[in-house]
Structures are given as structure tokens and as C-alpha cells.
Structure 1
Amino acid sequence: MKINLKSGIDKLLFGMKQKDVIADYGKPSKEYKDEDDNLILVYNTLKMRLTFYQDEEFKLGYIVASSPNLELFGNKIIGKKIADVKKDLAKSSIIKFTQEEFDTFENYFNEENWIIFQTEFDEVVKFEIGAIINQKDEFDWKFGKK
């Protein structure tokens, strides 16, 4: 599954509604609301959790994924050493990361692309990507744009 920076993953585009996602991927394994009343769809087979923002008309705005099939610039990322992932990203001029530590986990956040690589024991175990906020302080929705 190809990660499309600033846009989404695979056929998932930021700005899609629940019905659009279900049309492409079928019924989710689980569906619930979080503490902010956002809609969450979970797809176990895809190893993805999708967040639809309540205050944005329930548009897809955030994806958390841990599928071993995730690819960024043609390179698999899950299970790879973070140093190798960062080396691959540097070839595409993605070099700025803010690092946070939580117990055995570390997060590497790149704000420009709104991506997070979560590692444990120096290996990427989870990837997160969020919709970009533009210069007008609004979400840059990709779905439906030509």
C-alpha cells in the first residue's frame, strides 16, 4: 500500500466521507466514536484506523497504519530500522524530525508532511499521517480535487 504524502494511503484520500471509504474497502471491522465525537473506522485486514473529524463534516483527516505492506517512495517501512527509513527519506529531502520518547516507544514526527513514525526497539512499528493544514489555517482536503 503506497503512502501518498500530504494526501493519504493507497486509495484513501483526506476529505473522503465514510461512504466513500466503504465503497472502496467494504465494511470496517469496527466502528466507534472517540472522546471528541470523531468517527473511527478500523480495518483489521488492512491494519488501519481511520479518523473522520466531527467538526469537519466527518471528513477523513487522520490515518494510523501498521501493515507490513506500507511503502513510502517504494520502500517498505514497517519492521525497518528507523535509521534506514530516515536515510531513505533524506534522498527525498525529508530530514527534519521532532523526536519524543514514551517508555520503549519513540515517535519521529515530520511536521511538513504531518507524518509520524512510531518505533519500538529502533524498528518502525506504526505509521501515522494526517491531513495538511494550509496557509489559510484550513485543512487541505484532497478528495474531489481535480
Structure 2
Amino acid sequence: MKVNPKNGIDQLLFGMKQSDVIALYGEPNNQFEDDDSNIIFLYNEKKLRLTFYEDENFRLGYLITSNPDSVLLDQKVIGRKVEEVKNELPFKSWETEWFDSTENHFNESNWLILQSEYEEIIRIEIGAIINDNDEFDWKFKGK
């Protein structure tokens, strides 16, 4: 499963609607509304969490995966040492924030988070990019 910063994961592109995702992956294993009225899809087998933003007409705007087969710029990262991966990536600006036993390593220019626990990456999060006009840069050009 290829993680494409600024674009999406696998066949999923930022800006897709729920129906576009269902056409590709079928019905999610679970679906719920979060505290911000966004719709969340969970795909267990793919280890994917998808967020469709309510205030953006329910477009796909955020993706989280803990799939061990995830590939970021041609390298697997889940289970690897976070500092080793960060040193190999071309992204050099990282902000780090602690949450109990986990750390979030955030690269703002790609809206990418590598979450680690015990110094190993346990999940990848990517979000749609906001352009210079303060609008989302949707990659999906469908309906």
C-alpha cells in the first residue's frame, strides 16, 4: 500500500467522496461520526482509517494507516526506528510531540505524521494540503 504525501494512499485520493471510496474498497467494516460531525470509515483488513470532512462537503481529507505493508517513498516504515526513517526521507523539517507513550513526528510541508512508540513507527497519518489561497488542494477531480 503506497503512501503518497499530498495525494493519498493506494488508490485513494484526497477529495474523494464516500461513494468513490466504496466503489474501490467496498463498504467499510465500521463507520461513525466523530465529535466534529466528520464521517470516519474503518477498513480492518487494510488497517485504514479515513476521515471525510463535514465542512468540506464530506470529501476525503485525512488518512491513517498502520498497515505493515505501507510504503512511503519506496520504503517500508511500520516497525522501523523512527530516527532512521526520518534521516532517510528527503523531508528535513520535523516537529515532535509526546503523547503518553507515543511520539508524533510531524512534517508540515507534506502534512505527514509518523507516530512512534518505543522509538518504532506504529502508524502513518497524512492530510490534504491547504494551498496559498487557504483552500484544500483536492487531488481527486471526479464528480
TM-score, length of structure 1 as denominator length: 0.95
Question: Which residue in 2 is equivalent to 1:107?
Answer: 104
Runs of 4+ residues deviating >3 angstroms:
none
Question: Which residue in 1 is equivalent to 2:31?
Answer: 31
Q: Once superposed, what is the RMSD of the aligned Cα atoms?
A: 0.8
1:29-71 per-residue CA deviation (whole Å, 9 max, x = no partner) reads 0001001110000000010100000010000000011000110
What are the within-5 Å matches in structure 2 for residues 16-95 of structure 1? 16-89=16-89, 92=90, 94-95=91-92
Answering whether residue 121 of structure 2 is matched by residue 134 of structure 1, we say: no
Aligned-residue identity in percent: 54
Unaligned runs of 5+ residues in structure 1 are none
TM-score, length of structure 2 as denominator length: 0.97
Question: Which residue in 1 is equivalent to 2:122?
Answer: 125
CA positional deviation for 1:106: 0.6
CA positional deviation for 1:144: 1.1
Q: Distance in 2 between matches of 1:107 and 1:22?
A: 30
Q: Distance in 1 between matches of 2:5 and 2:112?
A: 8
Match of 1:116 among 105, 113, 116: 113
